[in-house]
Structure 1
Amino acid sequence: MRLTVTPENLLEWIALKINLVPLPLLHAQIFPIVGKAVLEAADKGIFEAVSNGKQTVDEIAAECQLNPKALRELMGLLLVLGYFKQRDNRYTLTRISRRWLLKDQQESVFGMMLFNNRVVWPWLEQLGDYLKTGKGIQYHDHLTTEQWAYYQQAMLAATGTEAREFGRKAPVPKNATLMLDIGGSHGQHSVALCRKLPNLQAIILDLPPAIEQAAPLLARLGMGDRVRHQAGNALTDEFGEAQYDIVLMSSLAHHFSEEQNREVARKVAKSLKPGGVYIVNEFIRPEDDGNSAGVGTNLVGNSMDLFYGLTSTAGNYSVREIQDWQHAAGLKPSKVITYLSIPGRAMVVAKK
């Protein structure tokens, strides 16, 4: 998937073709405004206001306590971006907004919008320092209680659609009875597999501050004791021996160094039963030669590589690197399964 500039007429097509349009200026001037505009619209409750029948600029401004002139400018941009339709100076939601941005929708990404606007946006100002030093922010060490709450809501929002696809596609033993979900917080991946496999139970190993904020999110999924939290740290705790049919580590490898991921893989291999599987679920950094086992070079994977480098410890890893950890731990690398709903992301699977 790529973010492109699309011409609207023949003359614009020609201008793009002959390199007459200064694309770097669009990237530097337009794209930041677009990103921040969508974040602020979600944060200020604009999509909810329109959904609740506030359709004119004045009505929306009154509902959200915003300046009408500034709001009119924002709505003009959101209209062009396809978030609203307009007729007779009245705005209505498009299918995109209604499905993805309303708080109560099952697949809503509103939680990620809030986290990115209130917590992540200031981090981007530190990109220049990161490029000089190579030292990431390592945000898990600095989150306040309020920020942990935003973070867990964001992780829930980011994985809602993915978790359902994961439940359908993950190549797990059909007779599996016990799963370890490393850093699984909200538990959506575990819940998806437990709903698929009636005899499966899952343990979510996570940090205490994460569990404090994620426990109510897991409770809402109604899985009772079949999916439960266990406080711990994947870097310091052992996982036991020959206990699990499935071990999942989703969106966590990018927080760990190469050496730490190798050590986690060693402990996972020890904890798996014969025939068990270890799934590393991650955004994938394409290989230098462009070959990433079908994941491909794309905007999502490459931008997340830079983002994770800035905000955490490492960044993305390639399929080859992940499989090397698994192989060194005595596991047999198996399938690489990509997502239709989340381009640039994949399950890298190994068997005991």
Structure 2
Amino acid sequence: MRLTVTPENLLEWIALKINLVPLPLLHAQIFPIVGKAVLEAADKGVFEAVQRGKQTVDEIATDCRLHPKALGELLGLLTVLGYFRYRGGRYTLTRLSSRWLLKNNDESVFGMMLFNNRVVWPWLDQLGNYLQTGEGIQYHDHLTTQQWAYYQQAMLAATGTEAKEFGRKAPVPKTATLMLDIGGSHGQHAVALCRRIPDLQAIILDLPQAIEQAAPLLARAGMGDRIRHQVGNALTDDFGENRYDIVLMSSLAHHFSDEQNREVARKVAKALKPGGVYIINEFIRPEVDGESGGVGTSLVGSSMDLFYGLTSTAGNYSVREIQSWQTAAGLSLSKVKTYLSIPGRAMVVAKK
């Protein structure tokens, strides 16, 4: 998936075709404003206000305690972006904003909006220093209790659609009875598999700060008799031997170095039962030579690679790199499963 500049008429098409339009200026000037506008609108409750029937600028401004002139400018941009319709002086929500930005919808990404606006946005100021020194933020070491809460809400929001697709596509044994979800916090991937496999139970291994904030989120699924949290650390804990039918590590490999991921894979291979599967669920970094393991040369994978390098010092890995950890641990490779709902993301699967 790529973000593109789309011409609105023939002359604009020609201008783009002959490189007359300074695209770097659009990237540098327009894209940051667009991103921040969507984040602030979600954070300030603008979408919720319109859903409640506040449809004029003055009504929305009063409801959200915003300045009418500034709000009007924001709404104008968001209408161009397709988040609102404007007719007769009134704004209404489009299908885009109704499905993805209202906080009480199951698939809403509102939690990610809040986390990005209140926690992540200031981190971007450190990108220049990261490029000069290679020293990332390592944010897990610095989050406050409130930021941990925002973080877990964001992770839940990010997996709203993915977990459903994971539950359908993950190539796991139909007779599986025990799963280890490494760093699974909110547990939505485990929930999806437990709903698919009647006899499956799951253990979610995660840091105490994550469990404290994620436990109420998992409780909403109503599967407390089959899924439980266990305080631990994937880098230091032993996973046991011949214990699990499924081991999942989702959105965690990008926090670890290559050496650390190899050690985790070694422990996973030991902990799997014969026929068990190890799924590494990740954004995929396209290889420099264009080889991407079938996931695509993705803007998503490349941008997240830079983001995780900045924020967690490691970054994304290619399919080939991930598979090298699995084969070095003695596992046999299976077909890579890609996501329709999250382009640039994949399940890299291996079996014992």
TM-score by length of 1: 1.00
Q: Which residue of 2 aligns with 1:294?
A: 294
Partner of 1:84: 84
Equivalent residue number for residue 263 of structure 2: 263
Structure 2: distance between partners of 1:87 and 1:105:
25
Deviations 1:271-318 (A, max 9, x none): 000000000000000111111111010110100000000000210000
Distance in 2, matches of 1:346 and 1:275, equals: 21
Point out where structure 2 has 5 or more consecutive residues left out of the alignment: none
Match of 2:202 in 1: 202
Amino acid at match of 1:54: K
Alpha-carbon separation, structure 2, partners of 1:135 and 1:321:
22
Name the CA distance, whole Å, in 1 between partners of 2:246 and 2:145. Answer: 31
Q: Which amino acid aligns with 2:172?
A: V
Provide Cα deviations, 1:64-101, integer angstroms capped at 9, x if missing partner.
Answer: 00000000000000000000001101000000000000
Q: Distance in 2 between matches of 1:313 and 1:217?
A: 28
SS at match of 2:248: strand
Q: For residues 240-279 of structure 1, what are the structure 2 equivalents within 5 Å? A: 240-279=240-279
| 1:143 paired to 2:136 | no
- Find the residue that maps to 2:161 and give its secondary structure: helix
2:108 maps to a residue whose letter is S
Q: Deviations over 1:197-230 (max 9, x none)?
A: 0000000000000000000000001112201100
Write the letter of the residue equivalent to 1:138.
Q
SS at match of 1:335: coil
Inter-partner Cα distance in structure 2 for 1:224 and 1:232? 19
Divergent runs of 4+, >2 A: none
Counterpart of 1:116, as a letter, is N
Q: Percent identity?
A: 86
Aligned residue identity for 1:331: L
- The answer to whether 1:328 aligns with 2:332 is no
**Correspondence for 2:318:** 318
Deviation at 1:165, TM superposition (A): 0.1
Partner of 2:16: 16
Letter in 2 for 1:36: K
Q: Distance in 2 between matches of 1:9 and 1:222?
A: 53
Return the alpha-carbon distance in structure 2 between the equivalents of residues 193 and 74 of structure 1: 41
Write the distance in 1 (CA, Å) between the matches of 2:337 and 2:97. 29
CA distance in 1, matches of 2:261, 2:335: 19
1:180 corresponds in structure 2 to 180
Matched, 1:121 2:86: no
- Alignment partners' CA distance in 2, 1:138 and 1:82: 35
- The amino acid across from 1:100 in the alignment is W
Residue 7 (structure 1) shift: 0.4
User: What is the rounded CA distance, in whole Å, between the counterparts of 1:349 and 1:299 in structure 2?
Assistant: 23
In structure 1, how many angstroms separate the alpha carbons of the residues matched to 2:49 and 2:122?
27
User: Partners in 2 of 1:102 and 1:288 — Cα distance?
Assistant: 39
The residue type equivalent to 1:348 in the other structure is: V
AA in 2 matched with 1:22: P
SS of aligned partner of 1:248? strand
Provide the secondary structure at the position in 2 that maps to 1:19: coil
Alignment of 1:16-165 (within 5 A): 16-165=16-165
DSSP-derived class of the 1:160 partner: coil
Which residue does the alignment assign to 1:282? 282
Aligned partners of 2:338 and 2:78: how far apart in 1? 31
Offset at 1:195?
0.1
Q: Could you tell me how far apart the structure 2 residues matched to 1:77 and 1:321 are? A: 41
Structure 1: distance between partners of 2:251 and 2:335: 18
Query: Equivalent residue of 1:137, what SS?
Result: coil
Q: What is the one-letter code of the residue matched to 1:26?
A: L
**Partner deviation per Cα, 1:301-348 (whole Å, 9 max, x = no partner):** 100000000000210000000000000001111110000000000000
Aligned to 1:173, the other structure's residue is in SS state coil
Aligned equivalents of 1:345 and 1:134: distance in 2?
25
Number of residue pairs aligned between Structure 1 and Structure 2: 352
Q: Distance in 2 between matches of 1:134 and 1:89?
A: 50
SS at match of 1:273: strand
Matched, 1:351 2:351: yes
Q: How far apart, CA to CA, are the structure 1 residues paired with 2:237 and 2:255?
A: 16
- Superposed displacement of residue 164, structure 1: 0.2
Give the 3-state SS of the residue equivalent to 2:160 in structure 1: helix
